[in-house]
A and B are shown apart, each in its own frame.
Chain A
Amino acid sequence: MKSIRQISRRDFLKTGGVFVVGVSLYGCGKEKIPGITQPRSTDPWAPDVYVSFEADGTAHIISHRSEMGQGIRTGLPAVLADEMEADWGRVKVVQAAGDAKYGNQNTDGSWSVRGFMQRMREAGATVRLMLEQAAANQWGVDPVECTAEFHTVVHQPSGRVLDFADLVAGAAELPVPGLEQLKFKTPDQFRYIGKGLPIVDLHDMTHGKAQYGADIRLPGMKYAAIARCPVLFGKVKSYDAEKTNALGGVEQIIEIPAAEAPPMFKAVGGVAVIASNSWAALHGRDLLSIEWEEGANSDYDSAAFRQALLDTVQQPGTPIRDQGDIAAAIESAQELVEAEYYAPHLAHAPMEPPVAVANVSADFCEIWAPVQDPQSLIPMAEAVTGLKPEQIRINVTLLGGAFGRKSKCDFVEEAVVLSKQTGAPVMVVWSREDDIRHDYYHSVSAQKLSASLDAQGAVTGWRHRVAYPSIMSTFDASISQPVSFEAGLGALNLPYDVANIRIETGAAPSKVRIGWLRSVCNIFQSFAVNSFSDEIAFARGKDSLENLLELIGPDRTLDLSEFGVELTENYPFETGRLRQVTELVAEKAGWGRELPKGHGLGIAAQYSFLSYVAAVVEVAIEDDGRWTVPRVDIAIDCGQYVNSDRVKAQQEGSVIFGLSLARDSEITAAGGRIQQGNFNDYRVLRIEMTPQTHVHLVESSAPPAGVGEPGVPPIAPALANAIFAASGRRYRELPLGGILAPGDDA
């Protein structure tokens, strides 16, 4: 991949070859700034260089976000290309290094399009305006008569045409226009936005040429595999490397000191085997004989922990939303509906396990890694090497899946530590077992829900207690209770029209590293809330859809700021949009249609990452308890979208991800050790369980919202509700397994 050099205008005049437009998106226009490639803002959110041109007019557009399957390397560059009237065939997408000049690169939280679409449009409109001006100058005409069209500028009165290639030199001499001078395309003029462009990496991915972190090969590169203590924060007591040293290809054994709490993103430590190839490193590592001092976390036992969490939610917790008078509502209830839910730890298990390459010398540190947050590597590398930020370069490869795992740079630190010690480029390879046993786990959770119904069957009160180890415990060892941003993912921000609502959190210590996984706490909180809605429907003798729409209630804007639910500017929580996707998916799925014996339909709706999603799952249950999902309908309103095909692909993938965790996946610990290790015992969905998935995309002019995560939360509860519809049996614990155990009859 060609890298973009940032060059000054003087360099441009010297080389004559490349024109770099630095587009500052903040504060420009107020002052005329010389040297268009100079960073003109100290705001770390302000991008500086997003686009440049070769002499032949080929545009290089920077992708500063990480590609992990969501299509962002195509999406954001296409926005810029569209707004500058580029011919997509003459665009090369260039992956940015980790550098604050590009603004936020932390690819997480379904945020890339929301955070950067407008900025890309501003960058593109800036370039277009400058090229139009350059053409006007060349022709000696009024620039308003000049219009960029598909990599050319056309003089409208005369029909004269100049290619972008003929304009870049002239444009390079122009001042950068201010934001107020920019004119934006109207949606009917979009060439790429809202369409379904194929991803730029498609050919490479189908020909074995796409380069992931694991595919980096450097001259003299060593491979390292690390034996880490099976219990978090355990230490090496002693080790014997005799067998390892006898293995051909093994070169060196290096002990890495154990990390201490809190985990942060620190390398956990262990014994590293350095070898000339991956297999010698991995096999040599397995041949080590190590005695561990396991430490305090060796008391972690999932069965006991499950019971402790379920006990916790029996008791009143810390109220984080207290609306009306829940005690009175429950006291005066005609009927009280109550249920408990449990969901286990999950591992991310991206198909490419963590991997990283570092090359540390006396005066430079270069890293190649599949990371979601490349800038976070810079302070880590500074701390390990003692080098300065300008002596550190972070190259971002493609990510072979991530789902949140590759936000955490523990595995990159290992590579930096080992490269520094060996003086050679080092790739740290993780086996699948390493990945499953040393993850930042999605949290294990217990929840208890209670709803009061009055004599007419109306829901008068809603109480939701949650208990799970907090993500924040990864950063602060003193935190042992869910925090409000976590509860805000599907519990605290309950959108139901109920007068008396109380949400409570309960204590839960962390015995493993806790992290965020695609859609985060929405996974279990949506499972509980949407399952419980369906339980209320049954108690009320109402149709599930009708009940859900009643709970969502009349269209209104929710303001839960008094309960600590932060409002995102321009993104009010509109319950009407949740209602609409619910109605849409029900209609498309044929809600109420006649079904074969053993089949059932279930529905769930969830607002997350500022998007509104509803799903209908059809389940088919055999007499022996085996079940399949013939069909899923999923409707999403994510506001304005960039790539219709990738939005659909993300929903198709979310259905699989949701069914995977609902059916198969579970991480458990015994004696502090994770009991799963590979895809035989940490199971994920395979092709034969794939439903016919229909994605229904809402056309919306609302600002762009999340796409990669919001499809996951409704799947597990819609499935559980479908199973109830088909069988009358209610399942409140995940995963369900491939054969339904005898469940609770309602």
Chain B
Amino acid sequence: MIKLTINGEAREYTGDGNMPLLWYLRDLLTLTGTKYGCGKGLCGACTVHLEGQAVRSCSVTMDRLDGASITTIEGLGAGGDHPLQIAWARHKVPQCGYCQSGQIMQAASMLATNPNPDDRQIDDAMSGVICRCGTYQRIRAAIKDASGATS
């Protein structure tokens, strides 16, 4: 049995240890805010936090998660909106919106360790998360806004 914490809640998993975290979240817990986009860690749509660090949930299997603490987009603003969620609204970032959970989770992980990233650092951290609608310019602006840096 695998015991883990999802958004502060204790959970137990007894299924196939090879199942990626993504599908555990989406199909077994119905936490559908985390999205499938590629299944190979190439697009970042499935990004969640493992011990506060951004990881691709499609590429982390359940057997590695005993004792782990996971935060998904549903748990990000648990104590009120995250500054990124506020900035995202101010800059009207989303178009179709599908990749935005992954974008925000990736950005939140970056800001946690680097509260004032410059352009290059933003691009480096966000490069793994694809937005096919092309909201990148506003993603940069919203991250800078949330980080308190002047753009």
Q: Which of A394-402, A531-539, A594-602 contacts B (4 or more CB under 8 A)?
A: A394-402
Contact of A680 among B40, B124, B126 (CB under 8 A): B40
Shortest distance from the beta carbon of A226 to any chain B beta carbon, whole Å:
15
Q: How far is B92's CA from A181's CA once the two chains are assembled, in angstroms? A: 38
Instruction: Check B96 against A202 for contact (C-beta < 8 Å).
Output: no
Instruction: Check A690 against B136 for contact (C-beta < 8 Å).
Output: yes
Give a binary string over B36-51; 1 marks a CB under 8 Å from any A CB, 0 the rest.
1111101101000000
B109 near A: Cβ within 8 Å?
no
B64 near A: Cβ within 8 Å?
no
Shortest distance from the beta carbon of A698 to any chain B beta carbon, whole Å:
21
Q: How far is B123's CA from A206's CA once the two chains are assembled, in angstroms? A: 20
Instruction: Check A207 against B33 for contact (C-beta < 8 Å).
Output: yes
Query: What chain A residues lie within 8 Å of B139 (beta carbons)?
Result: 687
Query: What chain A residues lie within 8 Å of B133 (beta carbons)?
Result: 69, 351, 401, 653, 656
Contact of A351 among B19, B31, B39, B96 (CB under 8 A): B96
Instruction: Check B20 against A279 for contact (C-beta < 8 Å).
Output: yes
Query: What chain B residues lie within 8 Å of A350 (beta carbons)?
Result: 96, 98, 132
* Residue in A closest to B23 when the chains form the complex, CB atoms: A279
A731 near B: Cβ within 8 Å?
no
Contact of B97 among A201, A353, A692 (CB under 8 A): A201
Most chain A CB inside 10 Å of its own CB: which residue of B28, B77, B137: B137
Instruction: Check B16 against A215 for contact (C-beta < 8 Å).
Output: no
Instruction: Check A686 against B138 for contact (C-beta < 8 Å).
Output: no
Most chain B CB inside 10 Å of its own CB: which residue of A71, A202, A204, A206: A206
* Residue in B closest to A70 when the chains form the complex, CB atoms: B95
Give a binary string over A265-295; 1 marks a CB under 8 Å from any B CB, 0 the rest.
0000000000001111011000000000000
Which residues from 656 to 712 on chain A have a C-beta closer than 8 Å to any C-beta of chain B? 656-657, 660, 678-680, 684-688, 690, 692-693
Contact of B127 among A249, A279, A687 (CB under 8 A): A687
Contact of B134 among A210, A214, A217, A653 (CB under 8 A): A653
Instruction: Check B137 against A690 for contact (C-beta < 8 Å).
Output: yes
Which residues from 122 to 146 on chain A have a C-beta closer than 8 Å to any C-beta of chain B? none
Q: How far is B26's CA from A678's CA once the two chains are assembled, in angstroms? A: 21
Instruction: Check A198 against B92 for contact (C-beta < 8 Å).
Output: yes
* Residue in B closest to A430 when the chains form the complex, CB atoms: B36
Q: Beyond A208-B32, A210-B97, is A432–B38 a contact (Cβ under 8 Å)? A: yes
Instruction: Check A249 against B16 for contact (C-beta < 8 Å).
Output: yes
Query: What chain A residues lie within 8 Å of B88 (beta carbons)?
Result: 202, 206
Instruction: Check A71 against B95 for contact (C-beta < 8 Å).
Output: yes
Q: Beyond A349-B132, A656-B134, is A202–B77 a contact (Cβ under 8 Å)? A: no
Interface of A is mostly: loop
Instruction: Check A657 against B94 for contact (C-beta < 8 Å).
Output: no
Which residues from 430 to 472 on chain A have a C-beta closer than 8 Å to any C-beta of chain B? 431-432
Shortest distance from the beta carbon of B7 to any chain A beta carbon, whole Å:
10
Shortest distance from the beta carbon of A287 to any chain B beta carbon, whole Å:
12
B70 near A: Cβ within 8 Å?
no
* Residue in B closest to A656 when the chains form the complex, CB atoms: B134
Interface of B is mostly: loop
Instruction: Check B42 against A209 for contact (C-beta < 8 Å).
Output: no
Instruction: Check B39 against A431 for contact (C-beta < 8 Å).
Output: yes
Query: What chain A residues lie within 8 Å of B123 (beta carbons)?
Result: 687-688
Of the four ranges (under 10, 10 to 19, 20 to 34, 35 or more), the interface on chain A belongs to 35 or more
Query: What chain B residues lie within 8 Å of A660 (beta carbons)?
Result: 134
B73 near A: Cβ within 8 Å?
yes
Contact of A432 among B30, B37, B128 (CB under 8 A): B37
Q: How far is B98's CA from A210's CA once the two chains are assembled, in angstroms? A: 8
Query: What chain A residues lie within 8 Å of B129 (beta carbons)?
Result: 687
A299 near B: Cβ within 8 Å?
no
Instruction: Check A432 against B96 for contact (C-beta < 8 Å).
Output: no
Query: What chain B residues lie within 8 Å of A223 (beta carbons)?
Result: 27
Q: How far is B90's CA from A196's CA once the two chains are assembled, in angstroms? A: 12
Which residues from 79 to 105 on chain B have a C-beta closer than 8 Å to any C-beta of chain A? 85, 88-89, 92-101, 104
Query: What chain A residues lie within 8 Å of B12 (beta carbons)?
Result: none
Q: How far is B131's CA from A657's CA once the two chains are assembled, in angstroms? A: 10
Contact of B39 among A282, A686, A690 (CB under 8 A): A282
Q: How far is B72's CA from A656's CA once the two chains are assembled, in angstroms? A: 28
Most chain B CB inside 10 Å of its own CB: which residue of A198, A432, A685: A432
Which residues from 1 to 43 on chain B have a C-beta closer than 8 Å to any C-beta of chain A? 15-16, 18-20, 23, 26-28, 30-40, 42-43
Most chain A CB inside 10 Å of its own CB: which residue of B34, B35, B94, B135: B94
Instruction: Check B23 against A278 for contact (C-beta < 8 Å).
Output: yes
Q: How far is B97's CA from A67's CA once the two chains are assembled, in angstroms? A: 10
Most chain A CB inside 10 Å of its own CB: which residue of B123, B124, B133: B133
Instruction: Check B33 against A684 for contact (C-beta < 8 Å).
Output: no
Most chain B CB inside 10 Å of its own CB: which residue of A208, A350, A429, A655: A208
Q: Beyond A201-B94, A277-B27, A687-B140, is A653–B135 a contact (Cβ under 8 Å)? A: yes
Contact of B101 among A208, A432, A645, A684 (CB under 8 A): A208
Instruction: Check A351 against B35 for contact (C-beta < 8 Å).
Output: yes
Instruction: Check B38 against A679 for contact (C-beta < 8 Å).
Output: yes
Instruction: Check B127 against A688 for contact (C-beta < 8 Å).
Output: yes
Instruction: Check B104 against A206 for contact (C-beta < 8 Å).
Output: yes
Which residues from 222 to 258 on chain A have a C-beta closer than 8 Å to any C-beta of chain B? 223, 247-249
Instruction: Check A69 against B95 for contact (C-beta < 8 Å).
Output: yes
Instruction: Check A202 against B137 for contact (C-beta < 8 Å).
Output: no
Q: How far is B148's CA from A330's CA once the two chains are assembled, in angstroms? A: 62
Query: What chain A residues lie within 8 Å of B32 (beta carbons)?
Result: 208, 211, 214-215, 217
Query: What chain B residues lie within 8 Å of A352 (beta carbons)?
Result: 35, 37, 96, 98
Instruction: Check A399 against B96 for contact (C-beta < 8 Å).
Output: yes
Q: How far is B45's CA from A205's CA once the two chains are assembled, in angstroms? A: 13
Query: What chain A residues lie within 8 Å of B104 (beta carbons)?
Result: 206
A199 near B: Cβ within 8 Å?
yes
Q: How far is B37's CA from A650's CA once the two chains are assembled, in angstroms? A: 22
Contact of A205 among B31, B34, B37, B94 (CB under 8 A): B94
Contact of A686 among B15, B95, B98, B127 (CB under 8 A): B127
Query: What chain B residues lie within 8 Å of A280 (beta carbons)?
Result: 16, 19
Q: How far is B134's CA from A653's CA once the two chains are assembled, in angstroms? A: 4
A346 near B: Cβ within 8 Å?
no
A contact residues vs B (CB 8 Å cutoff):
67-71, 196, 198-199, 201-212, 214-215, 217, 223, 247-249, 277-280, 282-283, 349-353, 398-403, 429, 431-432, 645, 649-650, 652-657, 660, 678-680, 684-688, 690, 692-693
**10 A–B contacts from the bound complex (CB under 8 Å):** A202-B92, A207-B73, A208-B74, A208-B101, A249-B16, A400-B98, A401-B132, A432-B39, A679-B40, A687-B127
Q: Give the 6 A-B residue pairs with the shortest CB-CB distance, closest first.
A: A208-B33, A656-B134, A400-B98, A69-B96, A205-B97, A208-B73
Given pairs A350-B96, A401-B132, 18 additional interface contacts (CB within 8 A): A202-B92, A206-B85, A206-B93, A208-B101, A248-B16, A277-B28, A351-B131, A353-B36, A398-B96, A401-B96, A401-B98, A649-B92, A653-B134, A653-B135, A678-B38, A686-B127, A687-B122, A688-B127
